[in-house]
Structure 1
Amino acid sequence: MAILVLGRPAVSSGEVLRHPARRMVRVLLGVLAVRANRALPLDELVAALWPERPPPSAAANVRNHLAELRRLLRAAGPDQPAIVTSRDGYLLAAAPDGVDVTLFQRLVREGRALRRHGAHPAAARSLARAVGLWRGQVMAGLPVPDLVRPDVTVLDEQRVVAIEDLAGVRLALGLHEELVPELAGLVVEHPLRERLWHHLLAALAASGRRAEAVAVYHRLVRVLDRELGVAPDAATRRLYESVRHSGDSAR
């Protein structure tokens, strides 16, 4: 993995992270990496860097920024991704694992395939590695150009779903107790992600913390009603009823 944009944009060289010194070069690196292996016309790169009033020298400035990125990639060592000029524009030509974005997506696909085949320990490793690639927001510290905003929105969603998938696999492995504090934080960070609440309810119930599980369910009911005007889905309601009835049978 050589190009990092799941966080502050950087070029990786072994254990060393090289951050472009100039802000516009960092934005350009982020745009090319998010759209890795896809050509971007020069005018779209100009609009990404100067969304309102491009200077007369904008095209020349983009070419200078690209030259600076090429030097940075060469300095990082051999077998790095390369910026390629084509008749359709410029693209970052990278191997599937050469950019953290594409590596993240591959690991998520791998983790889900392993989960479907019942290989939960291996699935957990792949998903944990995928989630661990995130060092912050996509292109952290920079404005996200409109050109790649849809891509960034998709990546943000993929990250949360991967976190949900990982929690589900770890529940299947019986790691209930250690999941509780993590999930408790996640439902605060993502209060409208019902799947995270479902996992928290399941983890508390499996840990014998029935009263807390019931309280979590009622918190979820209030959040969903206040924010969306809906009730928990059928699966979460069934889990809650199971927890509630298990308490009745224990008396």
Structure 2
Amino acid sequence: MTARKIETVLATLLIKSGQIVSVDQLVTEIWSQDPPRRAVNSVYVYISQLRKMLGRLSGEPRILTHAPGYSLDIHDEEFDLLIFQRLLAQGRERARAGRHEAADRLFTEALGLWRGPTLSGLYDGPVATSFAAWTEAMRMECTENMIDSRLALGRHRELVGLLSNLISEFPLREGFYRQLMLTLERCERRADALEVYQSARRTLRGELGLAPGPALQAVQLSILRADDLVGAPVAA
């Protein structure tokens, strides 16, 4: 249990890198609303142990004391999240400029930094919970951007399996349904594309009591009218 608490302290300092994290915040992250009587003293012990461990690894002080708590000194290139954000921003710029080959490479490199869900669901304090939700939203955005770039490059046939798996994993993410409908339509599978819309409609209504959003409805209508969908390429 002590190792888990030390990990929580380190995770919180990483999430708030460059900022001061108060001892009270650390107590809340570790024990939520039910801290033990000697919680503050325990935090001091965990910080001391972390300082020794990080000092051995880097040879320099990483945890700095600043009233009313501590901050973690970390270089940008040591933090995968900062690298991910940089790659995502660069990918967005390339996509906006129509440079989809470059955009796809950047989005793919960014997603390659992930090793599973943020914090692997191990921490449930307020800082960790909000951080996990924020980073997961960025990962979903990056995935959608990558797929949009591949669609723009005419690589739709390779996306059917990927999108089907993503919908199974994230059944309430409308963007993946939209992209799978476009992909199937460009693979000359219009009936399957329309069935994806009906599946999204059933899922959203059953889980949330909502109808598909405007973007999903627009793709369905375009397929029904046999419109030229968003500059769809001729060949895969």
Shorter-chain TM range is: 0.7 to 0.9
Tell me the amino acid that sits aligned with residue 136 of structure 2.
D
Tell me the amino acid that sits aligned with residue 124 of structure 2.
V
Using the TM superposition, give the Cα deviation of residue 88 of structure 1 relative to its aligned residue in structure 2, in angstroms: 4.1
User: Is residue 101 of structure 1 aligned with residue 75 of structure 2?
Assistant: no
Measured against aligned partners, the alpha-carbon deviations of 1:81-130 in whole angstroms (never above 9, x if no partner) come to 82222234211122233222222222222211221122212211221222
User: Is residue 145 of structure 1 aligned with residue 125 of structure 2?
Assistant: yes
- Give 2:180's aligned residue: 200
Matches within 5 A, 1:17-56: 22-56=3-37
CA–CA separation in structure 2 for the residues paired with 1:188 and 1:50: 34
Q: What RMSD, in angstroms, separates the aligned Cα atoms of the two structures?
A: 2.4
Contact 1:40 1:90 in 2 (8 A): yes
CA–CA separation in structure 2 for the residues paired with 1:226 and 1:52: 35
Contact 1:34 1:101 in 2 (8 A): no
How has the CA–CA distance of structure 1 residues 71 and 121 changed in structure 2, closer, same or farther, with 3 Å as cutoff? farther
Gaps of 5+ in 2: 228-236
CA–CA separation in structure 1 for the residues paired with 2:146 and 2:194: 23
Measured against aligned partners, the alpha-carbon deviations of 1:119-153 in whole angstroms (never above 9, x if no partner) come to 21221122122222221222225232123322222
Tell me the TM-score normalized by structure 2. Answer: 0.85
Tell me the TM-score normalized by structure 1. Answer: 0.80
From 38, 42, 65, the equivalent of 1:85 is 65
Using the TM superposition, give the Cα deviation of residue 187 of structure 1 relative to its aligned residue in structure 2, in angstroms: 1.1
Using the TM superposition, give the Cα deviation of residue 200 of structure 1 relative to its aligned residue in structure 2, in angstroms: 0.5
Gaps of 5+ in 1: 1-20
Count matched residues: 227
From 186, 198, 218, the equivalent of 1:218 is 198
Query: Which structure has more helix as a fraction of its residues?
Result: 2
Secondary structure in structure 2 of the residue aligned to 1:144: coil
> Higher relative contact order at CA 8 Å, sep ≥6: structure 1 or structure 2?
1
CA–CA separation in structure 2 for the residues paired with 1:157 and 1:141: 15
Q: Percent sequence identity over matched residues?
A: 34
Secondary structure in structure 2 of the residue aligned to 1:76: helix
